[in-house]
Structure 1
């Protein structure tokens, strides 16, 4: 059964699979039958482990933000990529392969504030992340307050256009089959369309809550995860470009970075979101929030004392909202995009990894500046 294979690959326990199959898919199996299915497909967690050399080779792929990640996060990534191993093996390999990174991560300390939500889709927290914005990369995110499942995290050339943010929201509503009971937004014109759409779809004028970004606790806390597991790598990479004189904080330089890096950064973020949604949140003694995997907390909230607050929506109203949205198209300015495509074809420029992409960024920047008669 395809669901069993998917859930095993995502690292779920037998009990978690049992609950998801029954609640989300209406598949009723005894636990013994489920265990036999797993055994028949040779889905064993303690047998047929991946060779340690192969595990080490996977972990050693630290050319991007992987070098920011701890052993629990890396263990989850191993499972998601079909590598069967245990946490202790990953911890030891990380110590051997990246001892300095382990020491740096071990010094971090987070202070957790008390938060409580009634169930999934009771509150969606929406905000923008601007740490990469000086380099032209703007990020928008939304997290479910109860389960901590990421609803979306999108990197694009802007997160200030209210129609773009509305597009993310409307897509999420379509995918979920309804809208949340309420949304929590930062103050700002970019969120105006989303707030109006939420009120329109839910037929509740009080369903959009505004407040300062610093008070939007759930999403602000997740930005720390994005920073440590992903964004820090890109910040340091772009800072190095700037230090070396290959970035001048102007329109052209930002556009070239968008052209070269936006898709790679989005793929990196997608990996972080996938890992986050399936990782296990540990129990915290002073927290009122349930512990477990965000994806399962969101799918079967009744197991954790909650219920789903998703609001049914009128499809005609959704169509009206879609007409007011703008969706991703070109990663950068359209003219710059076609210039870069032509230059890559003319000079036979290609890319396969992040370091070749850095060289591509530098080369395209120089070629365009030369055509414009700008000396750098």
Structure 2
């Protein structure tokens, strides 16, 4: 009897181990597919699997896995023109996609739509369906001064983005100075509240498990809590930039790395939203002085904008930065540069932090950011029971007008 029970238990353990092994393999394959479709090179996939996901593979193992998954890059036929055209039109109609250049469009088609397409094909299609966009993006930009830092996490640049603020969508972002990786890019009800801005900082520190050597910001009051937290967390470190030297303040226009990114971000889709909300204001559909209009535009368009920013951040962090003349900056993908600094012969300047300390600081010193007042959410559910979040700009505009009409009928 005992032998039978032992045999049953052993069999159950074996089945459980097999099931766990299959789950790990499935998860590993999904991660590999994600980076493959983002056009990472094989060695870059191996590096980031090791550094970020604790998965160690040789080049030979990776190639065998890709063969089993039927993933290849050479001699792979291009997707049908019909599918490519449909995807391009879908991106152009989806909001900020109308601001994308052909390289950014090519990357989105590969990563979001899993299409195998050449850049030249994308360019030719855009010349047909969006000739005005091609023309407007062909204006040359001014050259900027040389920027140089020694490695990832040496300095993070943070700032608020004001171009959508007149329409009640404050943006706050942070970028790593060396790798150009976007650390966070968030939409909230405010980018001037020190406790909300501090939440962005501590939340990402909790996720990453480290803080940068230095933080650079402007002199705005919204940064006072982050300044205190950064200096306090760096107080016991023994390097030359520990303590009060770990935070730098200056003019917003001199915060070069993040200011440079804002112009890139506007061309990646934000310009569309600015134009849309300006039109709504000019047509008296939106009144920024009316609290109900403010809550309504956030309720209807907020989820779409948040989704757009997640795509913008993800695409930027995975895009390929090409080598440039007279620029002291690494070429590669921001994510790969950030996580795999040894491949670029530079040092990672991160400082490890106790996650329990960060958790207590989040509870004591921050306010969780919200975009829409909870009471307005309840009001909408009472006015339109079972209402679903809009999935397109047309749906959002229709819902926006409907909610305001319902509110006006009550008044």
TM-score range, shorter chain: over 0.9
Superposition deviation, residue 350 in structure 1: 6.7
Q: Deviations over 1:29-59 (max 9, x none)?
A: 4434433332332211231432221121111
Structure 1 residue corresponding to 2:143, chosen from 111, 128, 151: 111
Partners of 1:113 and 1:338 in 2: CA distance: 51
Matched, 1:190 2:190: no
Task: Report the 3-state secondary structure (helix = DSSP H, G, I; strand = E; otherwise coil) of the residue aligned with 1:5.
Answer: helix
CA contact (8 A) 1:127 1:185 kept: yes
SS in 2 for 1:239: helix
1:1-376 to 2 correspondence within 5 Å? 1-2=28-29, 3-25=31-53, 27-46=55-74, 47-61=76-90, 62-63=92-93, 64-81=95-112, 82-203=114-235, 204-250=243-289, 251-323=291-363, 324-329=365-370, 331-345=371-385, 351-372=390-411
Cα RMSD of the aligned pairs, angstroms, is 1.9
Give the unaligned 5+ runs of structure 1. none
Distance apart, 1:206 and its partner CA: 1.2
Give the structure with higher Rg (CA).
2
TM-score (norm 1): 0.93
- Displacement of 1:95 in angstroms is 1.4
C-alpha displacement of 1:310: 1.0
Structure 1 residues 191-246: Cα deviation after superposition (integer angstroms, max 9, x where no partner): 11111111111222211111111111111111111111121101110011111111
User: Where do 5+ consecutive residues of structure 2 fail to align?
Assistant: 1-27, 236-242
Give the aligned length: 370
Structure 1 outlier segments of 4+, above 6 Å: none
Cα contact 1:301–1:308 (8 A) shared by 2: yes
Q: Can you list the C-alpha shifts for 1:166-212, whole angstroms capped at 9, x where unaligned?
A: 11000110111111111011111111111111111122221111111
| CA spacing shift, 1:358–1:173, aligned 2, 3 Å | same
Using the alignment, how far apart are the partners of 2:189 and 2:135 within structure 1? 35
Deviation at 1:28, TM superposition (A): 4.9
Distance 1:110 1:77 in 2: 27
CA contact (8 A) 2:231 2:244 kept: yes
Whole-Å separation in 2 of the counterparts to 1:230 and 1:4: 28
Q: Is the 8 A contact 2:300 2:390 kept in 1?
A: no
When the two structures are superposed, what TM-score results if normalisation uses the length of structure 2?
0.85
User: Does the CA contact (< 8 Å) of 1:202 and 1:313 recur in 2?
Assistant: no
- 2:7 matched to which residue of 1? none
